Amino acid sequence: MKSLPKSLLLIAAIISLATLSSFAVQRYMAEDKVISDPIVMRPEFAIADLNGQVRNIKEWDGQVILLNFWATWCPPCLSEIPGFIELQDQYGEQGFQVVGIAIDEEEAVREFVARLKINYPVMAAEYEALELSSRYGNQMGALPYSVFINRKGEISDKITGELSKIEAETMLKKLGFKP
């Protein structure tokens, strides 16, 4: 029986360690995953969406925004997206907008968005998205990472780790939304 090359074993070990680290960080942050800071205005950005249209955060001024940083290779990211699709359907007419920023390769994101029929704007940017995530308070670079922005453009909450639909609805109620 042949043994696997050392380089392949090393790659498998690195992938396993990265996955376990992601889950460990999420578990560690689970108790205090919602962070409310003093009033901070949202940083501006402009990134092309999957159709090549440059989308600027100012486009959604006056709405409550759920800005979600995610990746196709992140299991907790993928499990929260169906809830975001439902929230966009349920609260969109009241002035709520989900905006997804994938820290990933565009083709992988494009396939995932098509498969799930995501109903909100999604941008794919690798290094630019990491830097933007940091500007929005994600100093650890954890995924998923979500930010609620109120109608005045102020960051109201930052969430590290998976955000359930129920948790998001609680935050939306706090921001004046009705079920």
Q: Record the pTM.
A: 0.79
Q: Domain residues of the chain, as ranges?
A: 34-174
Superfamily designation of domain 34-174: Glutaredoxin (3.40.30.10)
**What does the pLDDT look like over 9-68, one tens digit per residue?**
455 545 544 554 454 445 444 445 555 555 688 999 999 999 999 999 999 999 999 999
Tens digit of pLDDT for each residue in 94-115? Answer: 999 999 999 999 999 999 999 9
In DSSP notation, 74-129 reads: -HHHHHHHHHHHHHHHHHGGGTEEEEEEE-S-HHHHHHHHHHHT--S-EEE-SHHH
Question: 25: phi > 0 → left, psi -120 to 50 → alpha, else beta; which?
Answer: alpha
**Residue labelled with tokens 């955060």:** 57
